[in-house]
Structure 1
Amino acid sequence: MDILVVGTGYVGLVTGTCMAEMGHKVICIDINKRKIDDLKQGKVPIFEPGLEEMLRRNQAAKRLHFSTDYDEALARSFVCFITVDTPISAEGTANLSQLDAALETIAEKMVEKKIIVLKSTVPVGTAEHAKKLISNILESRGVEIPFEVISNPEFLKEGNAINDCLKPDRVVIGVESEEALEIMREIYAPFMISRERLIIMDIKSAEITKYAANMMLALRISFMNELSEYCEKMDANIDKVRLGIGSDHRIGYHFLYAGVGFGGSCLPKDIKAFKAHAEHNEIPVDIVSAIDAANERQKRKMFKKIKDYFSDLLGLKGKTFAILGLSFKPDTDDMREAPSLTLIDDLKKSGAFCRLFDPVASAKAKELLEPSPLIYFAESEEDAAKGADAIVLITEWKQFRFLDFEKIIPSMKGRAFFDGRNQQNPEKITQLGMDYISIGKKTFFSNQPLLGISHK
């Protein structure tokens, strides 16, 4: 199948590359010429395990191409996947300007029948909006060209997107005609070798499904984060509670980890957009509103723990903190809505120094954080810990599970470890002479007083 992917962001690059991997002929288009020039040379602007190698392999096989020329791309393609970003507007709604621009360009340049697939996350009713927009432009051109708009939301997890795309647990398709459905079946046939995963429904239900999935996942995270505070007050252990409830097959273990809040390009954005759309239509969504509020509180919980801990140590001003992990989750360089940004901002406002380290996301973080004498980008975990009063683990990169404390501790000024992802063993940390503060557990103090002051 000849496929056009509009937008070379996260979803577009992964989708286009995986489609090519499965044998389709794919051309990815973007209005950003510099990005396209880089992609033509095999330079990938995002970090996703396995993506760069697969992209280059399919370029070499002549199945994957990149362009800024809509005329060329449309001439070579029958099915057009729209994967442009739909960020949150100032009013909290989904900003469809990039989507509209892509649809307008397609409508202005198409000369033969096209199947237009909306893969971007969009509010319910967007497919109808797209059909009207395209129809109006075709009418103004004085031409009659058949087309169909389909909803095919993406369910990619950053850090595991290649596997999610090549081996999807489900493919949701909102479609109106049998002809278009058969075309989508043909496109996804290589992904369904082991079993059928297509879920066919009406277009509006497909549009809602994406939001519903993300909100359900966010709800589980926020529930565990709220429960973690209760566990702390009751001197219980959130990890034990997770095991207790996760063993119930009706609940399961996924997305039941307490932490410093969720971020990224999907959950926060989709919750706000769905909430705004529901309120605009006078539909009460109290639970959705509570998820958003709970997550914003959780993002500041670690700062409160740090502030409380150092209240007996002359406060935060002038203190130094080693921040391990900057991206919103491991195996990605995505800094959108990352909890680390909230913590760094709060620490800076308190006059504290931040020594930052992330295995992949430091470059993206430098673009977002204004230069400051209070911020230093470290080259390693050991470098970040030099002179630090405390270590704060924010992103659960696998390499942080095995920190070389024999090298780290001697270079530190203080002896505190704040574990925002409950990744370390508290008994081990305290045996090393460090106090251990985490999420949803009691604080574990070492037997060694810090700077002559005991917290016991």
Structure 2
Amino acid sequence: MRITVIGTGYLGATHAACMAELGYEVLGLDIVPEKIATLSQGRSPMYEPGLDELLQKHVVSGRLRFTTDWAEAGAFGEVHFVCTNTPQRKGEFACDMSYVEAAFDSLAPHLREGAVVVGKSTVPVGSAARLAERMASGAPADIADTIELAWNPEFLREGYAVQDTLHPDRLVVGTRSPRAEAVLREVYAPLLEAGVPMVVTDFATSELVKAAANSFLATKISFINAMAEVCEASGADVVQLAGALAYDERIGGKFLNSGLGFGGGCLPKDIRAFMARAGELGADQALTFLREVDSINMRRRSRMVELAREQLGGGFLGQRIAVLGAAFKPNSDDVRDSPALNVAAQIQLQGGQVTVYDPKAMDNARKLFPGLSFAPTAHEAATGAHVVLHLTEWQEFRDLDPAELGPLVAERRILDGRNVLDPHKWRSAGWTYRALGRPGE
């Protein structure tokens, strides 16, 4: 079976490499020639652990190729995975479907008889049914009734995408056709044989699974951050509170780490798009709680700025601030809606002299915030700082030696925006340690 992957961003490049790893001949397509040139050299356009190794392995073997030619993709593939982006519309909560629609419109005229098209993009519920009609009308008339659509949402975590593709906790397939289901069972046979469960649903349910999962995770994160606000007001410790809650099997400890909140290209825009779609369906009251989830998340950034200002005596003018972290999460170079960069930019706008360091996201951070200052190491970022802000929980930052860092800074003050540093270790080295949702010394 030969597979094409339409769209070679974070999702598509990973899916293409992993399908090749499962033994298929794969052709990836993108409309950006520079991206195709990079991938054709076996290099990923983004940082994702393990991805470069897979790309290099399968580009060299010839099992994985890339193109910008829609006709070539249509002629090559028996199964086509559509992995294009669905960003938030400018000025709205709703999802921008233009990239997905353009992909379907461009692919449809080149489809061969019996082709199965599989949507993996995160889309508003109801999109698959509409796209099935759009695809049928755009395909060659004599084979249109032989082409099938399925929806197979992705559940990748940045930093673990290769692992999540090759060893998922479940596969979800939305389909109207036993044949499309059978084809996807064949595609995913190595995973199914390894015991991965497959949940087969209708189109609408498969679309809702991704939206519901992201909404639940966002709610859990914002819940513990709401508790952090109460802890700050009462003098309690949110880390101890979360630890106690985690023992309850009904709650569990995953995604119960308080801190600066979530960001990135998925959770924020996905919960907003879900709210917008619910409104279109007349079910907006069902998701009003997500507005507060979003609000709590954004308040964490403002609270970190306030806490930094308090540590500096009430203002940022003339103060040097070191920001450790630019990516929205560790093991990624993704700076989309990054809480760390949002905090850095807010402080700079209020007069602070901000210097940022991140192990992998420096180039992307510079493009997004060219007005910020950047340093090549954590130590250089901290040199002369009046306060150090730990905002992305890279292992490199957890491993910092506070005694070694101390002589470099102007004042030994650290604010832990992720609640993962050891307060005793830092305080023993003479630092003032503060964190969101935790009492002072």
Give the whole-Å Cα distance in 2 for the aligned partners of 1:115 and 1:100.
17
What is the DSSP-based 3-state SS (H/G/I as helix, E as strand, rest coil) of the residue aligned with 2:343?
helix
Distance 1:142 1:184, change over 3 A: closer
Report the Cα offset of residue 70 of structure 1.
Answer: 1.2
- Give the aligned partner of residue 219 of structure 2: 219
- Give the aligned partner of residue 403 of structure 2: 406
Superposition map of 1:372-387 within 5 A: 372=371, 375-387=372-384
- Give the aligned partner of residue 254 of structure 2: 254
Contact 2:112 2:143 in 1 (8 A): no
What do residues 64-83 of structure 1 show as CA deviations (whole Å, max 9, x unaligned)? Answer: 11111111111111111000
Give the whole-Å Cα distance in 1 for the aligned partners of 2:55 and 2:15.
11
What amino acid sits opposite 2:409 in the alignment?
M
Residues 1:174 and 2:171 aligned together: no
Contact 1:85 1:120 in 2 (8 A): yes
Residues 1:308 and 2:310 aligned together: yes
Residues 1:297 and 2:302 aligned together: no
What is the DSSP-based 3-state SS (H/G/I as helix, E as strand, rest coil) of the residue aligned with 2:173?
strand
Superposition map of 1:287-436 within 5 A: 287-311=289-313, 315-370=315-370, 372=371, 375-436=372-433
What is the DSSP-based 3-state SS (H/G/I as helix, E as strand, rest coil) of the residue aligned with 1:304?
helix
- Give the aligned partner of residue 36 of structure 1: 36
Report the Cα offset of residue 142 of structure 1.
Answer: 4.6
- Give the aligned partner of residue 286 of structure 1: 288
Report the Cα offset of residue 400 of structure 1.
Answer: 0.9
Give the whole-Å Cα distance in 2 for the aligned partners of 1:80 and 1:319.
54
- Give the aligned partner of residue 16 of structure 1: 16
Superposition map of 1:147-158 within 5 A: 147-158=147-158
Distance 1:142 1:183, change over 3 A: closer
What amino acid sits opposite 1:413 in the alignment?
A
What amino acid sits opposite 2:393 in the alignment?
E
What amino acid sits opposite 1:296 in the alignment?
M
- Give the aligned partner of residue 118 of structure 1: 119
What do residues 152-210 of structure 1 show as CA deviations (whole Å, max 9, x unaligned)? Answer: 00000000111111111000011111111111001111122331411111110000000
Report the Cα offset of residue 262 of structure 1.
Answer: 0.4
What do residues 260-302 of structure 1 show as CA deviations (whole Å, max 9, x unaligned)? Answer: 1100111001011011111122211211111111111122210
What amino acid sits opposite 2:398 in the alignment?
R
Report the Cα offset of residue 355 of structure 1.
Answer: 1.0
Contact 1:125 1:204 in 2 (8 A): yes
- Give the aligned partner of residue 81 of structure 2: 81
What do residues 41-85 of structure 1 show as CA deviations (whole Å, max 9, x unaligned)? Answer: 122111010100111101122211111111111111111100000
Contact 1:300 1:342 in 2 (8 A): no
Runs of 4+ aligned residues of structure 1 deviating over 6 Å after TM superposition are none
Give the whole-Å Cα distance in 2 for the aligned partners of 1:410 and 1:196.
52
5+ long unaligned stretches in structure 1: 445-456
Give the whole-Å Cα distance in 1 for the aligned partners of 2:247 and 2:420.
20
Give the whole-Å Cα distance in 1 for the aligned partners of 2:298 and 2:196.
39
Name the count of aligned residue pairs: 437
Contact 2:114 2:143 in 1 (8 A): no
- Give the aligned partner of residue 45 of structure 1: 45
TM-score normalized by structure 1?
0.94
RMSD: 1.2
What amino acid sits opposite 1:343 in the alignment?
V
Identity %: 37
What amino acid sits opposite 2:191 in the alignment?
F
Give the whole-Å Cα distance in 1 for the aligned partners of 2:156 and 2:112.
32
Give the whole-Å Cα distance in 2 for the aligned partners of 1:77 and 1:144.
15
What do residues 281-325 of structure 1 show as CA deviations (whole Å, max 9, x unaligned)? Answer: 22112111111111111222100111122235xx21110111001
Give the whole-Å Cα distance in 2 for the aligned partners of 1:196 and 1:424.
36
What amino acid sits opposite 1:223 in the alignment?
F
Contact 2:355 2:375 in 1 (8 A): yes
Contact 2:327 2:335 in 1 (8 A): yes
Give the whole-Å Cα distance in 2 for the aligned partners of 1:405 and 1:95.
45
TM-score normalized by structure 2?
0.97
